[in-house]
Amino acid sequence: MFYGWAEWKFLGLIIVSSTINYLAGYLLYYSTTKIQRKNILISTILMNIVILLIFKYFNFFIKSFVDLTNINGSFETIKIILPIGISFYTFQALSYVVDAHKDKSNITLNVFSFFAFISFFPQLVAGPIEKSKHLIPQFETKKTFNYAYCVQGLRLVLWGLFKKIVIADNFGVLSDTIFNTDSILNGSSIIIGSIFFGLQIYCDFSGYSDIAIGIGRLLGFDLIKNFQTPYFSSSFFDFWRRWHISLSSWFKEYVYIPLGGNRKSTLRNHFNVFITFLLSGIWHGSNITFAIWGTCHGIVLIIEKQINIKKYSFIYSLIVLLIITILWIPFRVNNWSDLKIIFSTLCNIKSFHFNNITEIITTYSPVRFISLISITLLFFSIEKSLNLKDFNEWISLKHKTIRIMIYYILLLLIFFLGNFSVKPNFIYFQF
């Protein structure tokens, strides 16, 4: 019902996808031979991938074919609208089928539990990507009112709304001012734009995750944590343990380890890392820029494996943050042509000047901009104190008076500094 309200045209698609994967689990449960189980697994994986390729990557393949062959025809007029959340619920379904193939105890024959597992509305469109053995049993357990869960849920929703409306949506306007301009950018504005976008995407996506987990708690469900203060990571490896944890774990368990992980030779291990991050980049979108972003992260991880980072702990963590920020550029740019222009600009030292920085900053009034920067610094000081805890764990340790003060401060900041003029959307809805 929730998915149908968002986009009724694709309600049939999620029903078909859910039916395919439920029947695969059913057949795996009653299969008697290894060859039967293997055939069921392979055919189901292929069907899921075909659905994803058609609805997410069809236009990309057609455009690439046209560009390579220089054909001017009707191919370019074929358009397929990207269904909301297709990457997330397809990956969740794939994990179920693979786990069902490994162990029959991961299979549910309860059709209602399975369909609820695929379409659970708090995390349907942008995760966290849940494993069946964690979420499905929760649908099969009778729910009763839990006051502690409700309090925890409301805290997380409030924290998520603050991150989304106050920080993400405000820095999103500043980032768009830079990257959506028709004028030629200088090196300094590009770097500032990548910083703004880095703040936007983190608070946008982690804010969504907090809201999703919080709503789940209100309904009596425990969803997995998706972020652990990733901008305070000590290495690239540490960053990917803290950023979009459910997706990183998915690629590790279902791509990296099956490829051989680190059990093979050093060269093979580097190859496995490279392929995993290339696929991760492609997963994010049907644009060559996402593939470049994923590839770059794979390369820096391979390089990191050759460095004794313990010697340079603090300095290295700053370098990691700087490179991660710069690598947001291919993630954010609109297309390959823009990326080439930006790359050539960054390679020109003379392009680094501050001539039009004032124009960018004055998108907001000086008072509002300074307030936004101050609140962001305060936010990251809290992030630093959170360490690997979530906001709910952190605030529960405070005195009751302090907790109430923080709640009201967050509400006031949302109402007075929140950006309510932009379209209420989340970045990861497009994936």
Report the catalytic residues.
Answer: 284
Contact of 428 with 285, CB cutoff 8 Å:
no
Structure tokens at 84: 């909301």
Q: How far apart are CA 344 and CA 186, in angstroms?
A: 10
Are the C-beta atoms of 124 and 83 separated by less than 8 Å? no
Taking every pair of Cα atoms in the chain, the longest distance, rounded to a whole number of angstroms, is: 71
Return the amino acid letter for 67: D
Backbone angles phi, psi at 235, to 5 degrees: -160, 170
Backbone angles phi, psi at 421, to 5 degrees: -90, -15
